[in-house]
Structure 1
């Protein structure tokens, strides 16, 4: 007979397996498959819509359940490698090409900046793909999109954001 601790461990492992599979799935391949005429011929629009959103739904649901099941009620802190992996999930791709990510760490979080490099002949200096950046919170792993700001300004603004304090750029 399984003990409550065994069931808890089994449940967490199952959630981690589902989340890992969902995170490893190729968004571009899923979108390409669902855009095929055969998909539209055999599936109704609500089903196609669900399949388009299933990856994000699974990731969010498994993360939420894992947090809710944590004894502290909070997820464990993440490191730079995990922040990079999460940024990779949220940043857009250029077709089948992966996007390079520059990661900066500050006290409360990580800033992820997409860097566009032409392949196979990279330019001497990478250029920014967009004028936005991602911030991945160290304590919760929450990913938020921000305008590209100097790191010291972003650090101040992010701290205010976490405190629900008004943000001002007049300093």
Structure 2
């Protein structure tokens, strides 16, 4: 049995992945391409055109379910699902199983997404920041293109699987790659 917080986190990651994929899709481009294609029957065409909106609606509904079935503690300090009052939430396990069966997983972060996340982090609302992005197997090392000399952790690593951000000191690239791998493995 997995703790309620772990199950909630897994469902959240999968729902967020589906929502992000739908939000990135261009509904007008899809409709434009499908409107010119006579190979699809009208029902399939309509479904494809509406798919983005349907996915967004379903993920929003699942977000409401997750808000009700979130982890908390019982009066004795044991972790439970707040919606069910039990340590093992059947609702979230069911949602998790369905999403896993249909291969809904968090999408790997690509270079463009790593750049976007790093720019938001470094800019902190002040506008665009020139960046240098270096890719490695577990993620992306990002630093400002213009040297900020007094920053003790000038490197930002964007995790390829989760998109999580972590700050690192300026070290040779091969050392960063090795140390980040150890960091991810919990060593």
Could you tell me the TM-score, scaled by structure 1's length?
0.47
Which structure carries more relative contact order (alpha carbon 8 Å, separation 6+)? 2
Please, what TM-score do these two structures have when normalized by structure 2? 0.44
Larger Rg belongs to: 2
